[in-house]
Amino acid sequence: MTSAKQHGAVMATTIALAAIVLGGAAAAYGWAYARPQFMYSYLTAWLFWTGVSLGSLSLVLLHNLTGGVWGQAVRPLLRGAVSLIPVMGVFALPVVLNPQMLYEWADPSHVQRDAVLRYKQPYLNVEFFQLRAALYFGLWMLLAALVAWQGRSPAPPDSPADRRFRRFSGQGVGLHGLAVTFASVDWMMSLEPHWFSMIYGVVWFAGQGVTALALSIVVLAASERRDEVLAAAGPKAFHDLGKLLLGFIMFWMYVAFSQFFIIWHGNLPEEVVWYNRRLGGGWQWAALSLAALRFALPFLLLLSRDLKRDPRRLAPVALLVFVMHWVEIVWLVEPAVERGEARFVPWLDAALTLAIGGIWWLLYRLFTPRTPMEPIHAGPAGASHG
């Protein structure tokens, strides 16, 4: 590793340690002086970093099915993020074991006074909520173990082992998609248990994929592996990654806008209340920033072929997309919690995100180098996905 890249690695580790210390100190202060809000801020931070690992799992399974140079370039980085799924399962314990601190339906006094909550009790009850969380993470850890096994046992194309990996990936994508959909209902949508949307889980699923790909592009562009990729495949690999990022951003915007348009057109009081909370009281600025910085600006920039082929120009766009996903999670979660004693405390959300993110990043750096680096095969001239 060159001295410049060594310096960059040391700097990244130092920043992660500082994030843990400063974020942890601020979080401790928040626990002492803003306790009603603490668990909601913790939920926001945990959902954000869990989404990065789950999105990475989606991309690995997708690449097993489709192939392509883009996946060969980032698979080791994606596997490093996937390996942290058990860690995120540990971080889930405060949420799973204390749902009464977050969800109205977990408070018997609320349920007794609310006919809708009583009707939903067969599904929204503490014991079943905890059982479902265990099933989700059990499935995800099984898929993560299979991904790790695949990394230790690379198979030639079209070999029996390769076909076996494709088969489990096809089945795994379906099960993973179902788990993410139901998890979004349990952990996010049930914060407002009277409201429902059939597209909500797809929006979160799409956001995870965008965020995982964006982080992989940033890390790849800043790492020693970038030179290996450029030497083996030229700028084509980054071009493919940029096209995928553009496509995923468009898909995310499509499903997010579809949900909004259907609810706006229906104009039913029990449905529009969710958007009323998020398009007023200051939250409209977060919504506008998502439209502008999560979609419009990256969309326009990624139309440039030259930008997509240059990792130094592609990485800042990917970093913007990554950061804006955190804004999206805040926008999805926090407007639901301003009831009773709980109030949105922005610095507490940021502090817990930094603290958990610092731990996530250090473990990611620890696990990723241990993941075998796959060779990059450029394939036939002009071959490309997309």
Contacts of 348 (CB under 8 A, 6+ apart): 26, 27, 30, 34, 37, 38, 41
Residue 360 — very low, low, confident or very high, per pLDDT cuts 50/70/90? very high
- 163 occurs within a structural domain: yes
Contacts of 208 (CB under 8 A, 6+ apart): 51, 52, 54, 55, 58, 180
Both structure tokens of 281: 């009281």
Instruction: Quote the percentage of the chain above a pLDDT of 70.
Output: 89
Residue 211 CA to residue 207 CA, distance in Å, equals 6
- 381 occurs within a structural domain: no
- 282 occurs within a structural domain: yes
Residue 45 CA to residue 38 CA, distance in Å, equals 11
- 277 occurs within a structural domain: yes
Lowest mean pLDDT among 123-132, 152-161, 306-315: 152-161
Both structure tokens of 96: 């799973």
Residue 31 CA to residue 348 CA, distance in Å, equals 9
Tally of structural domains, the chain: 1
Looking at residue 386, what is its pLDDT?
43
- 348 occurs within a structural domain: yes
**Average pLDDT, stretch 75-87?**
95
CB atoms inside a 10 Å sphere around CB 25: 12
Q: How far is CA 193 from the centre of its chain?
A: 23
Contacts of 153 (CB under 8 A, 6+ apart): 161
Q: How far is CA 278 from the centre of its chain?
A: 21
Contacts of 96 (CB under 8 A, 6+ apart): 129, 130, 133, 134
- 22 occurs within a structural domain: yes
Which residues form the domain of 127? Answer: 12-370
Residue 368 CA to residue 203 CA, distance in Å, equals 28
Whether residue 338 is predicted with pLDDT greater than 70 in this model: the reply is no
- 38 occurs within a structural domain: yes
- 379 occurs within a structural domain: no
Looking at residue 92, what is its pLDDT?
98
Residue 381 — very low, low, confident or very high, per pLDDT cuts 50/70/90? very low
Whether residue 23 is predicted with pLDDT greater than 80 in this model: the reply is yes
Q: How far is CA 291 from the centre of its chain?
A: 18
